Amino acid sequence: MDEIKIQDIEIGLFLEALFQRHDYDFRNYAKASLKRRVLALAAAQGRTVAELIPLLLREDDYLAEVIAQLSVPVSDMFRDPPVFKTLRETVLPLLQTYPRIKVWQAGCATGEEVYSLAIMLDEEGLLERTQIYATDINDIALRKAEDGIFPVRNLGEYENSYKKSGGKSEFSDYYVANADFFRIDKRLRQKIVFAHHNLVSDGVFCEVQLILCRNVLIYFNDELQHRVLELFHNSLVRGGFLCLGTRESLRSIEERHLFAAHQAEHMIFHKNGIIG
């Protein structure tokens, strides 16, 4: 039996052990990217994948390291500025009609995107009556997100994206900085509840008017994408909005009949009433 086949068997056993022991189900994640991450985890420790399985089964503290490696905590502030500009101009005005607004950022990673959303809601006069929920499977990333502290070296890029997204103030109004780091203003941080949530196995988090889940579904196979889209459908109020990542497949959304396009170019949809 060749080495690649052995690796595939080991990875399958590793993922099964992760599910059976800790109830984290990565078995329906996209195979190629998941395989790279499992092999990187093994290589970093100088072990084979098979040698990781006893650690996973018997050492509870090892789980956090595994989840941190297998999940993908990648985020930037105002990533894809045209998407944020479109949300600002076409979705937020519709949310104005609600006396109380709830927003769910699913797969928030280290928090840059959810803070971008909070800034935009503030500038449109909606933040004070909005509750934002930011969730992720990766507890290490969640702690970083809740701290709201980011490297100063990224400020120039973030400020440029903020302006392109239709920013109405000075980006410097929303943080305090020292030589190495900047921290998001406390007023914004207080409007966000950070919580652990597993899109694969957990149920409806809350009923909301807007869900952002950007460039997460690309790591799931078709079966898991369908399950998560149904979760989002059940979590949204009638006519609520879903914003996905620009790397996701429009076809997989349209085929499910769960959502209709609001701004298809920017992967923004609204909830349909019928599950297909």
At residue 50 the predicted structure's pLDDT band, cuts being 50, 70 and 90, is very high
The whole-number average pLDDT for the span 39-59 is 90
Specify which of 60-64, 121-125, 263-267 reaches the highest per-range mean pLDDT: 121-125
User: Rg of the Cα trace of the chain?
Assistant: 20
Sketch out the chain's domains with CATH numbers. 3-70 (no CATH), 81-271 (3.40.50.150)
How many whole angstroms from its chain centre is CA 65?
A: 19
CB atoms within 10 A of CB 152: 13
DSSP string covering 12-25: HHHHHHHHHHH---
The whole-number average pLDDT for the span 71-84 is 87
The whole-number average pLDDT for the span 12-19 is 90
> What does the pLDDT read at residue 215?
85
The Cα–Cα gap between 88 and 134 comes to 19
Question: Per-residue pLDDT for 2 more than 80?
Answer: no
Q: Global pTM?
A: 0.85
Q: Report the chain's mean pLDDT, rounded to a whole number.
A: 89
Strands 181-184 vs 101-106: parallel, antiparallel or unpaired: unpaired
At residue 254 the predicted structure's pLDDT band, cuts being 50, 70 and 90, is low
Question: Per-residue pLDDT for 172 more than 80?
Answer: yes
| Residue 263: both structure tokens together | 């701004």
The Cα–Cα gap between 37 and 211 comes to 27
The whole-number average pLDDT for the span 52-57 is 92
Question: Per-residue pLDDT for 274 more than 80?
Answer: no
| DSSP state for residue 32 in the 8-state scheme | H
Residue 192 CB burial class (10 angstroms; 0-12, 13-18, ≥19): buried
Question: Per-residue pLDDT for 73 more than 70?
Answer: no
At residue 276 the predicted structure's pLDDT band, cuts being 50, 70 and 90, is very low
**CB contact at 8 A, 41 and 11:** no
**pLDDT tens sequence across 195-228:** 999 888 888 878 999 999 998 888 888 888 888 9
- C-alpha distances out from residue 198 to 108, 206, 231, Å: 12, 14, 11
- C-alpha distances out from residue 244 to 1, 67, 171, 266, 270, Å: 41, 23, 25, 8, 11
The whole-number average pLDDT for the span 169-177 is 96
The mean-pLDDT minimum among 29-43, 114-128, 234-248, 262-276 falls in 262-276
